[in-house]
Amino acid sequence: MFVRILGFTAAALLYPLLASSGSDAAPQKEKPHIVMVLVDDWGWNNVGYHRPNNPEVQTPNIDNLVKEGIELNRHYVYHYCSPSRASLQSGRLPVHVGYTDDLNEAVNPKDPVKGFAGIPRNMTGMAEKMRKGGYRTHATGKWDAGMATWDHTPMGRGYETWLGYYHHANDYWTQKVTRSHQPGCGELVDLWNTTGPARHLNGTAYEEEIFTKNTLDVIARHNPKEPLFLFHAFHQIHAPLEIPPEWLRRFKFLPHEAQRKYAAMVHYMDTSMGKIVDALKEKGMWDNTLMVVSSDNGGPVSYNDKFGGGGANNLPLRGGKFSDWEGGVRVNAFVTGGAVPKSKRGTVLNDFIHLCDWYATFASIAGVDAFDERAHAANLAPVDGIDHSALLIGDAKPGSGARNEIHHSVAALTVGKWKLITGGRMDNQSRPMGGPQVPFSGWRPGYGKAAKENNADIVNCAKGCLMDIESDPNEHEEVSVKNPQVLQRMMARLFKLNKGVMFRDVGSVDKRACTRWNGFYGPFIDVPDLGNASLPTPESIAESVLV
C-alpha cells in the first residue's frame, strides 16, 4: 500500500515502473483507447462543418472526423479556460471547483486544501480514475488547472507523463509567460516535462510542433494491448496569435492581421490533429479508439494590441469568450473513432453534454466508480459529471440523455429550453479588455454594418434576461416579459444553486514560485525529490512501455 506523503502519492510517481507487473487493475482488451483533445479559444464558426466552402476555414481533417463520428451540437463549457480545464479534470461544474481567474503562484497558508489556484488538493483527478481502470495515462499541452503543489500538477492528478505548460498562455517560440497573461512572477519560461523543466526543448521550435511530436512519440511507444488514455491540449488558438510565416500565405486575402493569423492557426491545429489520427491508425489502434474533441470556451471576438487575442467567429451564436451567451459557452465538439458504433456515425446529437461529464463517462468506460472518496472525506463537492457512455457508444437513443440542467456560472442557468442570464452588461464581457470590435467577429449573422451595430446592442441583464434557446438558439429575443412566471422560477432556481458555489481565498503570490526552478515555472510546495534515480524519468517511462 502506498501512503500520501509530502502532498503526493508515491504510487503516482512509481506507477510507470509497476504498471506492467499488475499493481493496478488488469487491462482489458475490450476497453477502448480514449483520446481527449481540448482546443483553446476555438470559435463556433471557425470550423468547416459549421462553415463549409469558405476559404477562411480550412479544417479537412476535422470535417472528415465529424462525418465518421457524432457531432455534439449542445456541448457546453465555462466561458473561459481555467475553470473549464479544472471542470474537465475534476468532473465538477466550474462553480464547484473554482470559477475565478486565480494566480498559479498564489498560496493561502490558512487553507491547505482550497488555498491555491486550480483544483482543490483533495479532489481525485480524471487520470487517477483511468489508472484504476487499467489505462496508461499521458498528457501533452496546456494544463491551467493549478501548479503550486505536486498534487496540482498533471502528474499529481494521475498522468504518467506530461509535456506542456502550466499557465493560461505562453509565447509559442520562447515559451515565456508575459505579465499580461500571468502577472505573478513575470517572464519566466513555462515548459515542463514530467520530472522537471524542459530546458532541452525550450526555444527549439514552434510550441505546437513540440507538442505534436510528443503526442506522436507517446503513441509510438505505447503497447496497444493496454488501453491508452491520452490527453492532448492544444495551445492553439489562444493568444498570442503566432504562427510560422509559411502558414499565413494561403490566408493573405483576409483583410485583418488577427483574422489571418487566427485562420492559419486553426488550419495548423487541424493538420496536427490529422497527424495524431494517422499515428493511431498506423499503430493499429484507431479501430478501438474513442476520440473526444472540444473547445474549452467560445472564441474571443475582440482584439487588443496589448493582450492580443481576437480573430474568432462565433456566428450565428451570440457573444464570445468571457460571456454567458451561447457564443461563450456552447462550443465545437464531437466524438469519433472506431469505438463509435456504425449506426451512430455521421449523426448530430442535440442532448446536453457539459465538459465535466467526460469524467463520469470515461470512468464508466474504464469500469470504475466515478465517486470521489477522497473529496467526500474532505467535505468537498461531489462529482457533477453524468455518464453519457450509453448515449455515445452504447444502445441509448438520441434524446435520452440525462442532463437537462446546466449551472453555467453564478450568473447563468439553462433548464431545458429556458436560459437565464443575470450578469450586467453581458455583451461587454465579450470584449473585456477594451479592444475594438473587429468586423469579422460580430454577434449577429452577417458582417460589416451588422457587426458594428452590436456596439449599440449592449444588453443589461442585471434584472434577468430570459431566452428560449430551443426556438431561438442564437438569443435574438429576450422573452422575460412574455414569461414572467418562468423568469421567477429560473431566478429562484439559480439563487438556490448559487448557495452551493465553492468560494475560496487563494491568498497572494508566494516568492518560491518565482525562484524554485531557476527561470522556469513549476510546482514549489511539497515537491518530491525529482532528481532521485529511483523515480521514473521520461526516458525510463518510454523504455517501460515499448512494445
Residues of the chain with pLDDT > 90, as a percent, come to 75
CA–CA distance, 82 with 75 (Å, rounded to integer): 17
Buried residues in 106-125 as b, exposed as e (16+ CB within 10 A): bbbeeebebbbbbbbbbbbb
Q: DSSP letters of 14-26?
A: HHHHHGGGTSSSP
Residue 436 CA to its chain's centroid (Å): 27
C-alpha cell, 126: 480524471
Give the best-scoring range by mean pLDDT among 238-242, 435-439, 455-459: 238-242
| pLDDT exceeds 70 at position 244 | yes
What does the angle CA 65 – CA 71 – CA 73 come to, to the nearest 5 degrees? 150
Residue 527 lies in a domain: yes
Average pLDDT over residues 5-16: 36
| Structure confidence by residue, pLDDT tens digits, 258-307 | 889 999 999 999 999 999 999 999 999 999 999 999 999 999 887 655 55
Set of cell numbers at residue 14: 512509481
Q: Which residue has the higher pLDDT, 3 or 240?
A: 240
Residue type, 285: M
Please compute the mean of the pLDDT values over residues 511-537 and round it to a whole number: 82
Q: Residue 183 falls within a domain, yes or no? A: yes
Q: How far apart are CA 320 and CA 312, in angstroms?
A: 9
Q: Does 380 fall in a domain? A: no
CB atoms within 10 A of CB 496: 9
Phi, psi (degrees; rounded to nearest 5) at 490: -70, -40
Dist CA 112 CA 378 (whole Å): 11
Furthest-apart CA atoms within the chain: distance in Å: 69
What pLDDT score does 91 carry?
A: 98
120 vs 446, more confident = 120
pLDDT at 304: 58
User: Average pLDDT for residues 83-90, to the nearest whole number?
Assistant: 98
For residue 279, count other CB atoms closer than 10 A to its CB. 19
Task: Record the cell numbers describing residue 422, joined without a space.
Answer: 443575470
Predicted local distance difference test score (pLDDT) of residue 27: 42
What does the pLDDT read at residue 420?
96
Under the banding of pLDDT at 50, 70 and 90, the label for residue 310 is confident
- Residue 448 in domain: no
User: What letters, b where the CB count within 10 A reaches 16 and e where it falls short, cover 508-536?
Assistant: ebbebbbebbeebbbbbbbbbeeeeeebb
Residue 483: per-residue pLDDT: 98
Among 6-10, 100-104, 420-424, where is mean pLDDT lowest? 6-10
Tell me what pLDDT residue 303 has. 62
State the pLDDT at residue 462: 85
Q: What is the pLDDT of residue 426?
A: 65
pLDDT tens digit sequence for 159-191 = 999 999 999 999 999 999 987 767 789 899 999
Residue 428 reports pLDDT greater than 80? no
pLDDT of residue 319: 84
CA angle 235, 34, 204 (to 5 degrees): 30
Name the nearest CA neighbour of 370 among 395, 352, 351, 389: 389
What is the pLDDT confidence band of residue 534, given thresholds at 50, 70 and 90? very low
- Averaged pLDDT for residues 145-154: 97
CATH of the domain at 262: 3.40.720.10
464-498 pLDDT tens trace: 999 999 999 999 899 999 999 999 999 999 999 99
Pick from 339, 266, 272, 327: which is nearest to 302 by CA?
327
Give a yes or no: residue 472 inside a domain: no
Distance of CA 124 to the CA centre of its chain: 17
Residue 225 domain-assigned? yes
Task: State the pLDDT at residue 301.
Answer: 81
Mean pLDDT throughout 501-519? 94
Residue at 426 is within a domain: no
Residue 442 lies in a domain: no
Least confident of 18-32, 222-236, 460-474: 18-32
Is 70 exceeded by the pLDDT of residue 3?
A: no
Q: What is the pTM (predicted TM-score) of this model?
A: 0.90
Position 437 scores a pLDDT of 41
Range of the structural domain that residue 351 is part of: 29-370+509-544
Report the mean per-residue pLDDT for the chain.
87
The total domain count for the chain is 1
